[in-house]
Structure 1
Amino acid sequence: RVYISSRKASACEATATELTGMGPGECIAIPGDVATDAGCKALANELSSRESCLHVLVNNSGTSWGEPLESYSEVGWSKCMDLNVAAIFQMTRACLPLLDASVTSLDDPARVINIGSVSGFLHQPFPTYAYDSSKAAVHSLSRKLAWDLAKRDGGKKAITVNVIAPGFVPTTMSAGLSNYTAPGEDPIGSTVPLGRMGRADDMAGAALFFASKAGAWCTGAVLPVDGGVLVGPIQVGNSKL
């Protein structure tokens, strides 16, 4: 079984139904809000009422905020840090008993997979100060958690913590990138070294690696899935990343 959570209950339910129809197994929606510690605890408690253990936790909540430096909103800064960074810390902490309960062998630890971003590595021409900073923090926090959770219960159990750092992937949140590409210019995907923007299945492949036995001996890794963005500058409008 796979559980997904979102503030938007109807969207969460619709997505769970769609995923359930894709193959064996079941996807179950649990509406929730991980922007606060109370919300994370409530979600973990709800999951505990349904399951005795949790094999894989994927922290994929996120938001962005863009404003000029001189007028950058404190609300926007706090919103990004709360949802992009604090939620990972709080949700992971709240789920520790469930994650510990899933471990029966050091050869198959529990898994935490956090979603970072190439924005945590590189300079961008966008005024997304909080988002970029938050993603760098996600990478650092994940390495810290990887160290601390590698030996649980006196070394009898382990939880791995790894990060997927996507490049440019079309999402509702990234729709604003089109504002930086002038009419008549090549779309962003054509300037990525591998010639296209990312897709959901690109991210799924990385997640499956970290969640599977193939990734059992991997922790503290930050894996860019970016079409080669980090190997050289790409053009977005009149700016290079």
Structure 2
Amino acid sequence: MGPDLFDVAGRHVLVTGATKGIGEMIVRGFHAAGAHVYLTSRTAEDCAALADELGGRAVGLPADVSTLDGVRALAAAVAERTGTLDVLVNNAGATWGADIEDYPDEAWDKVLALNLKSPFHLTVACLPLLRAAATAERPARVIAIGSVDGMRVPIWESYAYAASKAGVHHLVKVMGKRLASEHITVNAIAPGVFPSKMMRFAIEEAEDELVASVPLGRLGQPGDAAGAAVFLASPAASWITGAVLPVDGGMVTLA
């Protein structure tokens, strides 16, 4: 073991859903740790603003990763800027809540396209770049953002979201098995409750209840999300693949 056990400096990292919430936390964490970060979301202005704020080693690449054309365009844009991709963070996601009898088919289409199909398609589209970075000593990394709601029955009626995140957790195992021989690890982070646009309504309505449901007694903070992602991208996690790491203050494992 050396001083570089958690070093990601100089690594090339692509993060989707990167300008808000957990995605932004992860982008800032990698950038602060010295990585080259390619950050993407659907809104060009948001991408440019965050990249400009971070400065050197940050590039904004707007894309809609809910479509196959958008995924392919994003992978091509990254390939124009680097020949290797050390880390892919599939974070972009959406949710939809409604009563069971009112739950629309549109919700399934939208949520599954972004939460489940997109991580698969983007990983495939980025395989040439990931393969170019991968070695036995330092594998390339794919990190998917799942959810504690893919590991338990959620509090709210978010059927497509919960099912999609459970699917993400299994998908990393399936892809991890396939890509292990190519020195590409595939893992997932399952966040608990973090302050984000997606969770704003819940926190505003029931923050005390949410905090009470967390054994460690607080909501997630930026360092919690960033630290888990940087760990899974670092030499310290070179021998971990197919894993789902809860980052939830004990909500699932101590329930």
Q: Is the 8 A contact 2:37 2:59 kept in 1?
A: yes
**Identity over aligned residues, as a percent?**
47
Q: CA RMSD in A?
A: 1.4
Residue 94 of structure 2 corresponds to 63
What is the distance in 2 between the residues matched to 1:14 and 1:5? 11
Of residues 179, 187, 191, the one that matches 1:166 is: 191
What is the distance in 2 between the residues matched to 1:106 and 1:179? 47
Residue 222 of structure 1 corresponds to 244
Deviation at 1:202, TM superposition (A): 0.2
What is the distance in 1 between the residues matched to 2:108 and 2:224? 29
What is the distance in 1 between the residues matched to 2:201 and 2:153? 17
Deviation at 1:107, TM superposition (A): 1.1
Structure 2: 5+ residue runs without aligned partners?
1-35
Cα distance per residue 1:179-206 (max 9 Å; x no partner): 652xxx8352243110100012101111
SS of the aligned residue for 2:181 comes to coil
Cα distance per residue 1:68-94 (max 9 Å; x no partner): 111111111110000000000000000
Aligned pair count reads 220
Written as runs of structure 1 = structure 2, the 5 A alignment for 1:18-33 is: 18-20=53-55, 25-33=56-64
Residue 11 (1) aligns with residue 46 (2): yes
Q: Is the 8 A contact 2:195 2:203 kept in 1?
A: no
Residue 72 of structure 1 corresponds to 103
Of residues 80, 83, 89, the one that matches 1:49 is: 80
Of residues 167, 175, 178, the one that matches 1:145 is: 175
What TM-score, normalized to structure 2? 0.83
Residue 155 of structure 1 corresponds to none
Cα distance per residue 1:89-114 (max 9 Å; x no partner): 000000000000112x3010110011
SS of the aligned residue for 1:150 comes to helix
Written as runs of structure 1 = structure 2, the 5 A alignment for 1:84-233 is: 84-103=115-134, 105-152=135-182, 158-178=183-203, 181=206, 186-233=208-255
What amino acid does structure 1 have at the position aligned with 2:141?
R
What TM-score, normalized to structure 1? 0.88
What is the distance in 1 between the residues matched to 2:208 and 2:116? 33
